[in-house]
Structure 1
Amino acid sequence: MILMKGAMEFMQQSLQQFYQSCLDKNHFVAVPTNQKEGNGYAVNSQYFEGDYWYYCHRNLFSICTHDFTVKEDVFINQKQPSYLSIYYYQTVEAYFYPAHSPIESNSIYCNVSDNEAYQVHFKKGSQLKSISMYITPVYFEQFIQPHYDFSYEESVEVFRRVKNPSRWSDLITLMLKIGNYQGAGVAARLFYEGMVAEALALMITNHHAEQKYQRKARCSRDDEKMLERVVHYIDGHLHEHLRLSQLAAIACMGVTSLKVKFKKRYECTITSFIQKKRISYAQKLLLTTDLLIGQIAVMVGYHNASRFTELFRKHTGFLPSEYRETNQSMSNDIGEQ
């Protein structure tokens, strides 16, 4: 396993300097780009083999592509500056740390970074192929706010509040267009500027559409209170067998009505919600106690250890024992940095 080198010192250096520093520290070698605008690199280290490309437009934005084979388990723990990012993972087998939520292939992920650590685990033997875009606060100060009266802080709210961007076909199409583009010179610089502006427009458009939908789909205040009672009960009784009829009685609703309103409010079924709660609690117990796997299974409501193991692997990508061992090992490595 490895913790990638290169803490972000964005405020003290340009984007170009930052990329060059990180690439040098991680043994990337410059290669020709066949006249494509930007900078191409290759790597063949103990951990990665493949190609990397990036394009920076002053300190305003950057665009990157990865096409790697992951040769060993890789844990990235890297401090990031303030920026907004959009990632399109074409192929990937990875998990965000520490929650170990899986990163899905053919999916969009949006992130707001504010000098926080980016922590992700890429699995040995997997292929990493992605296209990403990073937009700095300077871009908004110089180009967006003066002309459109839309600040970086407002964009942060859009990125934070947006839900389920992973399958947005319009954003996926845009990112693929970026990845396939081979131009150079003024045409390329104009192309990339246009793509960044269009990506922001799509984010804002989809955010407004979601807000409109949520206003229409919003539960009544009384229903909200009843659903909160159900969630509170679930949280306190994860170790028990939870019946829909029992939860419906707590909510003072019929079973069908509860299922419909719960899904509208929490954007998942009650069964899925309970599973996620149980697995999340199991993750905490695995990392903070020395309890046996079977004991933890019972404590989170699974008296069949095989069923617990199956669901745990489905949600995290790990067997419970692997999750405990991997996270303990990673925590030790992080502590040594």
Structure 2
Amino acid sequence: MAVWASGVLLLVIVTVVAGDCPEGRYGYNCSYQCHCPHDYCNATSGCQPASCSRGWSGPTCQKENVALNKVTSSSSIYYLPSNAVNGDTSGDDETRCFHSAFEDSNITSAWWRVDLGNTTLIHDVIIYFRTNYKVRRNGIQIYIAGTAASPTDGVNCYNVTGNRDGTDIPDVLTATCSGEGRYLVLFTTTVNNDFGGVKVPIMDFCEVEVDSCTPGSLGADCDNYCYREGVCDYVTGVCPGRVCPPQWDVLVSVCDVSSYGTKCSKLCSDRHCKGDKSGCDPLTGQCTGGCRAGWDGADCTKKCGNSYGEGWDYMLSRSTSVMLADMVQTVSSSAQRDTAREISLPVTT
């Protein structure tokens, strides 16, 4: 499994111990729970096929809709805000969707909020819009918040933009909205109406999924794995403190022998290594035999500047460099230029 971490592609090799697990468990030390019928739960690889239980999705059923049946609130109510977290994704009947009020001409904004119950690492948000009326899709702002003090107190992680009539916005919109918080808020000040002379912002949508990877899983579909007990970063897969427990290895091994560094963007041949440089460390590009004279750094790509010798061993101060230049000029202009002179270079330590 390959993941990006701190700009470097890491290959996480997981040693899965197959064997007998309790019913509904699988993977290393039986650490993972199957979120599908037990008949489809393989003790090694999990759900086979992905017949996920209600509220779960992804190839291995490890992506959870943490908003399902949670407590909701809204700026006003025409149809219940709880309609948007009941699991009904059909969009052709507005009475089964959330709909804010619109009779009050003093309305300047509309919002909808779901309380996830506790601080949650949010992976993405999916909005199921009404399919029989599209004009209110444009202008929705999505926020992740730690408190319910104000609908816009959190981090604005996504904005829905498109034509005023909403025709270029899909019926099912997946928003990359990664962050950590207890509340997810949809907010708008946009007036998108084409009937009855209504001039206030209105919100209507049928379902909002807030997806989160289970502890120990990561990736776009939460179908890759990391160390379960030490709950890894759900985006990068990095373990706390970057320390792997026994039987788990992190290997930087994606770059081939000719490249290294962030996205393998640096060439080993551009280094100034002493000796053979046909290969190099795929993370740092370190020259195992040291650097040629005048170059320094782990990958020997940094010029030493006012220095000489191998590996920047001998540093010249700026004043020493100026003095040396003056001495050379004096020697060059002297009438005694045919006289051999030996200039000793002062060394600073």
**Who wins on radius of gyration, i.e. which is larger?**
2
Which range, TM-score by smaller chain? under 0.3
The TM-score normalised by the length of structure 1 is: 0.24
More strand by share: 2
Higher relative contact order (CA 8 A, sep 6+): 2
